[in-house]
Homo-oligomer: A and B are copies of this chain.
Amino acid sequence: MKQKIVIIGGGAAGPKITAKLLRTKDFDCSIDLYTQENIISYSACGLPYYIEGLISNSEKLIVRRPEQFEQQGANIHLNKKCIKIMPDAHKILVRDTVTDEIQEVEYDKLAITTGARPIIPSIKNIGLKNIFTIRTIQDGVNIRQKMLNSKNAVILGGGYIGIELLEAFHANKVHTVMIEREPHILSLFDPEISDMIKEQILSMANRNNENNVEIITSDAVVAFEGSENVEKVITQSGRIIETDMVIIAAGIRPNTEIAADAGIELGVSNAIRVNNRMQTSKKDIYAAGDCTENFHLVSRNYVWIPLGSTANKQGRCAAINISGKYDAFAGILGSAVTKFDKLAISLTGLTETEAKNFGFDVITSTMTKKDKAGYMPNADDITLKLVVDRRLKKILGAQAFGGGDADKRINTVASAILAEQTLDEFLHLDMTYAPPFSTALDPLLSTALVINNQIYK
């Protein structure tokens, strides 16, 4: 019997479910995807690089076009916002964002992939022109357009997107001030690591004494000023910063209001709770991507760490289970990477702060080493911090920053954490070595050895 599969949301997870279902043999279904936007399946993570100018055309960020899906047999409904889910009736209500017409849609199985949206802080005069948030391709196009005619910019928020926009603006010779209300940027990292990263960014950005970058922490924006366009940013501490534009990158929140209204259980940060088959608390309703919470494999707690990599895997898992087969998404390690210029910044698992909060007996080591043989002309510094439980001897997390491939070393640790390796086991890791790639004893193993020496002193 042909099943009606309905998907709400066209970001990353929804199109992934669609694509996977289209490739699934022996499953007879119709696929209808509804999105309030006028495109689907674009790489939001690529927007900072479009703004920077590294990607010539914003169209390149589109992973799959509606026409491609339609040709393969899926129905893509653009400009259709889901306004109500009725789990018992197995129906949803959809409103056309152009005509305001409301339509009832039946489903056998529903997938909620409504993603997340930027948090807009309550700041005086936030309605002024040239104050942007960043989520859609159109946001990216608008920001780039304005940036090309700007001398000064302010970024609110020192998270991943803030850092990536800082790179983009700096590369385009716009003097940029980043304002983070917390004491440290990149609050997912341990404070001393964040501070080291901040120093590196500032020294890289300001070495030529032009289009300098400024990073303000522990200060919040209280007001914008200007007649029509934003002209000034006023902070709590009384600073007045003249600017041509403002980007608000102060975090995101999950789009889960319609799920909550339908009685679907939410979890941490109001993200949708799902089991490891991506099933919500309501029969025949699945969820995937940024709108869902995650099980953290190290802390064994539920967290909300929305990432494109997770959305992709969850979408695949949801599709397999929707089609009646079995797949499980075990959880996450929170592995992530960002960069400023040549400085890669990456982490996985728990930070020292988190590990202590979760009650682990924490021992750490932080080392700065050359990422390649010191005599190679392009050898660069890499700083690694490992977090280990002294009794369990388990590796709990790692943070890294440096030239080149800090992220790939983080993935190596992620693999060890996933396998619940002890430090002793990890030290037996046979890592590749050649002078252009590493040192005879990889910096990762050097850092691990320091902890080992402390434990077995």
Residues of A within 8 A of B (CB): 12, 43, 45-46, 49, 54-55, 60-61, 160, 164, 297, 307-313, 316, 325, 329-339, 344, 346, 348, 373, 375-377, 404-405, 407-416, 418-421, 425-426, 428-438, 440-442, 445, 456
Considering the chains assembled together, what is the distance between the CA atoms of A386 and B308 in angstroms? 24
Considering the chains assembled together, what is the distance between the CA atoms of A337 and B426 in angstroms? 20
- Contact indicator A308/B428 (Cβ below 8 Å): no
Please provide the 4 A-B residue pairs with the shortest distance between their CB atoms, ordered closest to farther: A408-B408, A419-B419, A415-B415, A309-B433
Considering the chains assembled together, what is the distance between the CA atoms of A377 and B52 in angstroms? 12
Partner of A45, one of B12, B43, B429, B435: B435
Instruction: Report if A431-B414 is in contact (Cβ < 8 Å); known contacts: A55-B377, A376-B54, A441-B313.
Output: yes
Considering the chains assembled together, what is the distance between the CA atoms of A46 and B434 in angstroms? 8
Instruction: Report if A407-B432 is in contact (Cβ < 8 Å); known contacts: A12-B440, A308-B440, A309-B441.
Output: yes
The minimal Cβ–Cβ distance linking A249 to chain B, given in whole angstroms, is 15
Number of copies: 2
Considering the chains assembled together, what is the distance between the CA atoms of A330 and B297 in angstroms? 27
Given contacts A339-B436, A418-B428, A419-B425, 15 further A-B contacts (CB under 8 A): A45-B440, A46-B373, A46-B376, A49-B376, A55-B376, A160-B434, A309-B438, A309-B442, A313-B445, A336-B432, A336-B433, A344-B437, A348-B430, A404-B405, A418-B421
Considering the chains assembled together, what is the distance between the CA atoms of A61 and B375 in angstroms? 7
Partner of A309, one of B55, B330, B432: B432
Chain B neighbourhood of A410, CB < 8 A: 432
- Contact indicator B46/A375 (Cβ below 8 Å): yes
